[in-house]
Chain A
Amino acid sequence: ADADGKFGLGRAALPEEVAAWNVDVSPDGTGLPEGSGDVWTGESVFEENCASCHGSFAEGVGNWPKLAGGDGTLDHDDPLKTVGSYWPYLSTVWDYVHRSMPFGAAQTLTPDEVYAITAYILYSNDLVDDDFELSNENFAEFEMPNADGFIVDDRAETEYTQWRSEPCMENCKESVEITMRATVLDVTPDEGGAEGS
């Protein structure tokens, strides 16, 4: 290693290489390519590429993820967490769809198609009107409903302070009653079930 601790290994990345792989998009829109797409275009692109799993209205098919709905359910017993009800940033939608969807054929959508799909998902969540067009220009203006719904990990204050004490060793409780049994549910696979079975 030299004086800076460098070993002289590897090589400089070319601009084309960085551009090919560095496609992440930050909440403020940094990383977005130029482009645009409207709700109606999005509907047809979504129908062709996405609806077989996510439903024509982004409502989800079978066990596949629901992308719309669930507004106001986050404090319910069984919250429905979707793009509209849960996701804090629109950038994540664009970034994830662009890079990792459709499932099984990722990185096949053009930037304009991703703008259009994103606009359609917003429409499916009743967050924009049907004449809405999303572009790199107006992207940063859009605020998601649950943008303020997240707090940074606070376990240090809410949990660690109360659970760092010498624990009870004897006569810790009066009685012990069974309150729940797994065999009542009976959802465990039979023994011998191998991976992929």
Chain B
Amino acid sequence: MTTEKKGMSASRRQFLTGAAAVGAGTVAATVARAAEPDPLITEVQEWASSFGDGVDATPYGLPIKYEDDVIRRNVEWLTADTISSINFTPIHALDGTITPTGCAFERHHSGAIELKKEDYRLMINGLVDTPMVFSYEDLERFPRENHVYFCECAANTGMEWAGAQLNGAQFTHGMIHNMEYSGIPVRTLLNEAGWNGEVEGKWLYVEGADASSNGRSIPLEKALDDCLVAIKANGEALRKEHGYPARLVVPGWEGNMWVKWIRRMEITDGPIESREETSKYTDTLADGTSRKWTWVMDAKSVVTSPSPQMPITHGHGPLVITGMAWTGHGRITRVDVSKDGGKTWETARLAADAGNKALVRFYLDTEWNGEEMFLQSRAMDETGYVQPTKAQLREVRGLNSIYHNNCIQTWWVKPNGEAENVEVS
């Protein structure tokens, strides 16, 4: 206690004499001196005198009203209607790595359906010993695992292929969320139905209970390796819009394959070549041929602040540059940040050890004195892969591949602190 008091009085003395700015070795860190005493301090405030809400006021709470801009956003012109459409996670305003489920992005093909646990059925059929049906109650009785994984839509950043289009990290990079899942390994469920153990050349076709069905073919090897049928996310039941009461989790792979409201898994001799792996989620190259089965999401990162929706409003001096990085190939090992459009790079600080196929938070603690910046981040993963520029990607793929745009993003931070989505040479 004594030490603390001494510390406090020392810093108060520095404040009063303006000594804090001296000897810090920085030009901008002038500590402001208040002209008038602050009434928020000198006057007793309402909240320091009367009551707040009782514990019965909010059985299940929402964020405080002052955070009402931290919400999913829709871009109307992107799709023909809001039923088969996308919205965006407010990644610009979030920190850490876990995405609050209430503002985690949605992508539906025939809307977010309401499927209660009592009505839920999961079928396993195809090349199995016994086709099986499981109820939700059955699912709860299988041994569970917990893992944190990112789910990134294959189309994340897709509108940016041709140029800088949407002005904000939420819109350019917000088709992503990162949650802690509790679920049953797919291998456990398949084992319950029994099959001859043949993996080579075998596939698992997975579909949802909704009208779109969203059927996708997954190599059986991947399904047995780390795929889960998840029944909880971030500690609670899945949100309706995220597949309640059960969804597939396909670590590191494109979000479309994370089949929601999962109702059936079928072991097959070959891929079904469904609509979602032929017409969609195939990537057209410049010569008119298209890649199919581009499942893995490559290493990627973005600076979330400063960014167009997060201008610098605090003036010159200390600035936290932060963002997130992820890779479908395993773990992020390093993130570099450039303030000059890629001429020079500094290695950022990872807030924690990167998880496997999960978001990691990075920080670059810096000083800003009103100079123009071209902010970029560049992720590296444990395979040695370095996040490419958009020019590098275009060199290989052209402009029409729609999906899998993991290019380095540039924010132009102007002397007034505003930021804009730009492309630079």
Interface residues of A (CB under 8 A from B): 4-7, 9-13, 17-18, 21-22, 24-27, 62-65, 74-75, 77-79, 81, 83, 86-89, 91-92, 95-96, 99-100, 103-104, 106-107, 149-155, 158-160, 163-165, 167-173, 175-183, 185, 187-189, 191-197
Cβ contact within 8 Å between B343 and A172: yes
Bound state CA distance, A97 and B205, in angstroms? 18
Contact: A153 with B291, CB < 8 Å?
yes
For the complex, give the distance between the alpha carbons of A10 and B384 in Å: 44
The interface residues of chain A lying within 8 Å CB-to-CB of B130 are 12-13
- Is B163 part of the contact surface with A, judged by Cβ < 8 Å? yes
Contact of A10 among B69, B134, B273, B295 (CB under 8 A): B134
CB neighbours of A171 from chain B (8 A): 343-344
Residues of A within 8 Å of B296, CB to CB, are 153, 155
Q: Which residues of B contact A17 (CB under 8 A)?
A: 123, 133
User: Which 6 A-B residue pairs are closest in the complex by CB-CB distance?
Assistant: A75-B288, A176-B341, A74-B288, A182-B421, A63-B80, A106-B211
- Contacts of B292 on A, CB cut-off 8 Å? 150-153
Q: A100 → chain B, closest Cβ, in Å?
A: 5
Name 27 interchain pairs, CB-CB below 8 A, sorted by A.
Answer: A9-B192, A10-B138, A12-B131, A13-B124, A17-B133, A21-B125, A26-B268, A77-B399, A92-B274, A103-B83, A106-B211, A149-B288, A171-B343, A171-B344, A173-B341, A176-B425, A179-B424, A181-B164, A181-B422, A182-B164, A182-B308, A183-B167, A188-B308, A191-B309, A195-B71, A195-B73, A197-B76
What is the interface of chain B mostly: helix, strand, loop, or mixed? loop
B residues at A contact (CB < 8 Å): 69, 71-77, 79-80, 82-84, 87, 106, 109-110, 123-126, 130-135, 138, 141-142, 163-168, 171, 188, 191-192, 194, 205, 207, 211-213, 215, 263-264, 266, 268, 270, 272-275, 278-279, 282, 284, 286-296, 298, 308-309, 336, 340-345, 374, 378, 380, 383-386, 388, 392, 396, 399-400, 412, 420-425
Set of chain A residues within 8 Å of B123, measured between Cβ atoms: 13, 17-18, 21-22
Cα–Cα, bound, A74→B402 (Å): 13
Taken together as a complex, chains A and B put the C-alpha atoms of A75 and B84 apart, in Å, by 27
Inter-chain contacts of A170 with B (CB < 8 A): 343-345
Q: Please, which residues of chain A bring their CB within 8 A of the CB of B385?
A: 160, 163-164
Provide the bound-state CA to CA distance between A12 and B138, in Å.
13
Most buried by B among A25, A64, A155: A155
Nearest to B126 among chain A residues (CB) is A22
Tell which of A154, A164, A180 touches B423, judged by Cβ atoms closer than 8 Å: A180
Known: A22-B125, A193-B74. A176 touches B424 (CB 8 A): yes
Q: A153-B291, A181-B422, A196-B74 known; A169 and B336 CB under 8 Å?
A: yes
A63 pairs with B165, CB closer than 8 A: no
Residue contact B425 to A160, C-beta cutoff 8 Å: no
CB neighbours (8 Å) of B386 from chain A are: 163-165, 167
Question: With a CB–CB cut-off of 8 A, which chain B residues contact A10?
Answer: 132-135, 138, 192
CB-CB < 8 A to A175: which residues of B?
Answer: 425
Decide: B274 and A167 in contact? CB cutoff 8 A: no
Please, which residues of chain B bring their CB within 8 A of the CB of A182? 164-167, 308, 420-422
Which residues on the A side are within 8 Å of B264 (C-beta)?
Answer: 21-22
Q: How far is the CB of A193 from chain B (nearest CB, A)?
A: 5
4 further A-B contacts with Cβ under 8 Å, apart from A92-B274, A107-B211, are A11-B132, A22-B126, A74-B289, A172-B343
- Min Cβ gap A52→B in Å is 12
CA distance A100 to B111 in the complex (A): 12
Contacts of B340 in A (CB 8 A): 176
